[in-house]
Amino acid sequence: MMSVCKQLERKRLLCSAALLLGVTVSIASVARAFADDLDTLSRDDKQWVMPAKNYASTRFSGLGQINAGNAGQLGVAWEFSLGSDHGQEAAPIVVGDTMYVVGAYPNEVFALDAVTGDLKWKYSPHVDPSVQGVACCDLVARGEVYDNGRIFFNTLDNHTVALDARTGKEIWAVQLGEITRGQTLTMAPLAVENKILVGNSGGEMGIRGWLTALDENTGKIVWRAYSVGPDKDVLIGPRFHPYYPDAQGTDLGVKTWPPGRWQIGGGPVWGWISYDPQTHLIIYGTGNPGPWNSNQRAGDNLWTTTIFARDAATGEAVWADVLNPHDLYDFDEVNENILLDLPIDGQTRPVLVHPGRDGFMFVIDRRTGQIYSADKYDEQTSIERFDLKTGRPVMNEAQKPLLGKNISGICPSSPGVKDWQPTAYSPLTHLLYIPHQHLCMDFKTSEVGYIAGTPYVGATEDMYAGAGGYRGEFAAWDVRTHQKVWAIHEKFPVWTGTMVTAGNIAVYGTLDRWFKIVDARDGKLLYRFHSPSGFIGQPITYQGRDGNQYIAILDGVGGWPGAIANAEIDPRVRNGAGGFVGAVGDLPAYTSGGSTLMVFALPHQPVSSNAPSH
């Protein structure tokens, strides 16, 4: 039954026939069928149905029409303005002949002809304008996802919305959080087993982080797993078997905090989620504890800065690794987890590769949570090494924050070596492509009180370029040898995502407006284009009905590093914008806000807007 129902075009017919035959199909098996169908769609390189391309989060496409030999001939095929000058971090998706993209606040969704750029429909949600005063780091959205004929996305004011993919008609909309408590939604949801997974933002506002699973058909909450609190709230039970002793015990989400602190302890889930269809586990990371001032929260502060593996159907925790216990520097671990099978100790093992915000490249057994390796992939002075036996970092005592004292020369700065901007992996080169920043900081903590819906930080930082004087890098990392193979130094932090293809091209953008394609094997520049605004978006690629390959990415500077270029921020205050003013104070001389969807292709005959679709 399962093998047949995996075929998307026959799913409804066969499931109806099963009912007529009196066959009982469990809710769980139907949910698995939906998940398998989306998994099948994600393997079709003509489409790009979720921001990460697939459940393994590789962001690799098998398309090769655009390749290292001809990428220099690329040109702009079409453009479309989203009409919002806030930072544009979203990845478009392509399903069949249609491209879907959600913009930054006010979170309008557009459906476009993927070949011509013609507008098919637009959906404009009614987003509470007061949310603009609550969002931490610009009014961004990171994408949407498709499943079963619907588009799912989040609005900044804590709503998740389902739309009919064909018409744009709203099917349901549910509110999941409260602006007045500092909560927002910025992450791209993920569709898994007939559920929509959504996590909250607000780690700098004293929120209590969670991941929520919604019924895809109704929007009703199926389960919610908190990041802090008692085991019953974190969905820790008899199936939970963490690999390391410090994660073993009862109610550690309470006991590792001072009394009463866990309720405002943070742990938001605003990054990326991966899914293993074989084990039915979802894997994701939690964000920073609150406040940043670590002197106010003695203990390991579980389960913040943690990678969780959970059963997709029930939310039950299966294992967890606490990567930065008692986080000192705002090192969220919400970054992507790329699911690979790698040779380790003479065996091919199912692992996840996690480029940590703390500057370590983790290779972890995705069945058990055992950490096989943790290597520094850029400048890192605050952590000496990672102990693989204990699963804990060994800290540099000289750089631990002391209340009221300015600690200088900490590398990396609070955004980490790499923040949310996702990497890509090529099975052809065995390289991981990493867009990231190269910044250090001076850091000073101070006492802070909690007021709901207001910043709860207790620290200031002054960021600046790391060793070598450059502030960003696009690098290739060999996951087998644990070494950096090549790197491109950039003037500013590289805040876009990336993708890589079978044509041996890797794609990214820069804050100073350059769209770039490089040879995935050696980093040689193949093509660049100067866009209207700086890039913080995520590139994708697809094949149109005309047989041509396209590459799409949103421009529109903003986000945490680019806020100085699209908002009214005093450039004289170095610790403004969470410290980024000091690091990129010259950015306004290169770009200002924008919101242009740029689509590139090789020269070919244009397709008229009334061309037939398949």
Report helix angle 27-42 to 11-20, nearest 10.
Answer: 160
Return the closest-CA partner of residue 300 out of 255, 332, 234: 255
Q: How confident is the model at residue 570, as a pLDDT?
A: 84
Average pLDDT over residues 508-522: 98
- For the segment 245-276, what is each residue's pLDDT rounded down to a tens digit? 999 999 999 999 999 999 999 999 999 999 99
Minimum mean pLDDT among 6-20, 71-85, 202-216: which range? 6-20
Does residue 581 surpass a pLDDT of 70? yes
Average pLDDT over residues 92-120: 98
Name the phi and psi angles at 440, rounded to 5: -120, 180
Average pLDDT over residues 527-534: 98
The active-site residue out of 37, 300, 330, 473 is: 330
For residues 436 and 10, what is the distance between their CA atoms, to the nearest angstrom? 43
- Report whether 176 contacts 212 (CB < 8 A): yes
- Report whether 246 contacts 323 (CB < 8 A): no
Percent of the chain with pLDDT over 90: 89
Q: What are the residue ranges spanned by the domains of the chain?
A: 1-42, 43-601
For tokens 């929509």, what's the residue?
A: 196
The active-site residue out of 204, 300, 442, 555 is: 204
Q: How confident is the model at residue 606, as a pLDDT?
A: 53
Does residue 358 surpass a pLDDT of 60? yes
Q: Which residues contact 436 (CB under 8 A, 6 or more apart)?
A: 355, 378, 417, 418, 419, 421, 472, 473, 474, 475, 493, 494
Which two structure tokens, joined as six digits, stand for 47? 């489409």
Average pLDDT over residues 55-64: 98
Average pLDDT over residues 17-36: 36
Task: For residue 204, indicate whether it is catalytic.
Answer: yes
Average pLDDT over residues 469-475: 98
Q: Which residues contact 99 (CB under 8 A, 6 or more apart)?
A: 92, 93, 111, 112, 113, 114, 542, 552
What is the CA angle 59-190-141, rounded to 5? 80
For residues 19 and 475, what is the distance between their CA atoms, to the nearest angstrom? 53
In CATH terms, the fold of domain 43-601 is Methanol Dehydrogenase; Chain A (2.140.10)
Does residue 24 surpass a pLDDT of 70? no
The active-site residue out of 107, 194, 288, 566 is: 288
- For the segment 415-445, what is each residue's pLDDT rounded down to a tens digit? 999 999 999 999 999 999 999 999 999 999 9
Task: For residue 330, indicate whether it is catalytic.
Answer: yes
Average pLDDT over residues 384-403: 97
For residues 176 and 192, what is the distance between their CA atoms, to the nearest angstrom? 18
Mean pLDDT of the chain: 92
Q: How confident is the model at residue 11, as a pLDDT?
A: 39
